Chains A and B, each alone.
Chain A
Amino acid sequence: EDQVTQSPEALRLQEGESSSLNCSYTVSGLRGLFWYRQDPGKGPEFLFTLYSAGEEKEKERLKATLTKKESFLHITAPKPEDSATYLCAVQDSNYQLIWGAGTKLIIKP
């Protein structure tokens, strides 16, 4: 059964303290892995698409990487405005999106 698991459920960091979020998956025929950011009371905002193992994407303080079994979202020197829930989704061979439960990130000033 296709499955996406995100860890940790919540992560509290001090401003400037770098860390990583994990998205592990089992899926038949990965077509792509997607990262989204969601602020409270708003819809998710698309961040990255990764298609194959070894691929990396960067945007400001965020860098997403992909292996055959998991993806990491690295956050370097985070700021309070990076606080949000980060969602991971994988697309299977039938183009179905399977979503993770998300990691709630809190950056304290």
Chain B
Amino acid sequence: KAGVTQTPRYLIKTRGQQVTLSCSPISGHRSVSWYQQTPGQGLQFLFEYFSETQRNKGNFPGRFSGRQFSNSRSEMNVSTLELGDSALYLCASSLDSGSGELFFGEGSRLTVL
């Protein structure tokens, strides 16, 4: 069974640009959550999508957005990038919404210059 797939794995952007990250969950998993991980802040919850609806949202500015498609694949977008957005962005899937048993992808490493 294929795991969670995130693309791209690495990307470099400059301040002010925008970025879109993609996540394909495990087959049959309907919930997708996004996290930001930095050395100083650890894992920070961005949002969760289930059946194409945003179920929960963390404390991030509106520059961070996401969506989920009918096949459960998800994308997140960050607009007007800032230096502080440099981080590892992790996608996690689970069978149901609100589960603590998450299956993470390997992440997308974003560097903002």
Contact = CB atoms under 8 A, between A and B. Distances in A.
Interface residues of A, number: 20
Interface string B38-63: 00001101000000000010000000
Contact of B56 (A44, A96, A100, A101): A96
Given A43-B4, A99-B43, A101-B42, A34 B106 contact: no
Interface residues of B, number: 19
Contacts, number: 45
Contacts of A32: 100
B106 A49 contact: no
B92 A43 contact: yes
Contacts of A64: none
18 contacts: A32-B100, A41-B106, A41-B107, A42-B107, A43-B4, A43-B92, A43-B104, A43-B105, A43-B106, A45-B104, A46-B101, A46-B102, A46-B103, A49-B100, A91-B98, A99-B42, A99-B45, A101-B42
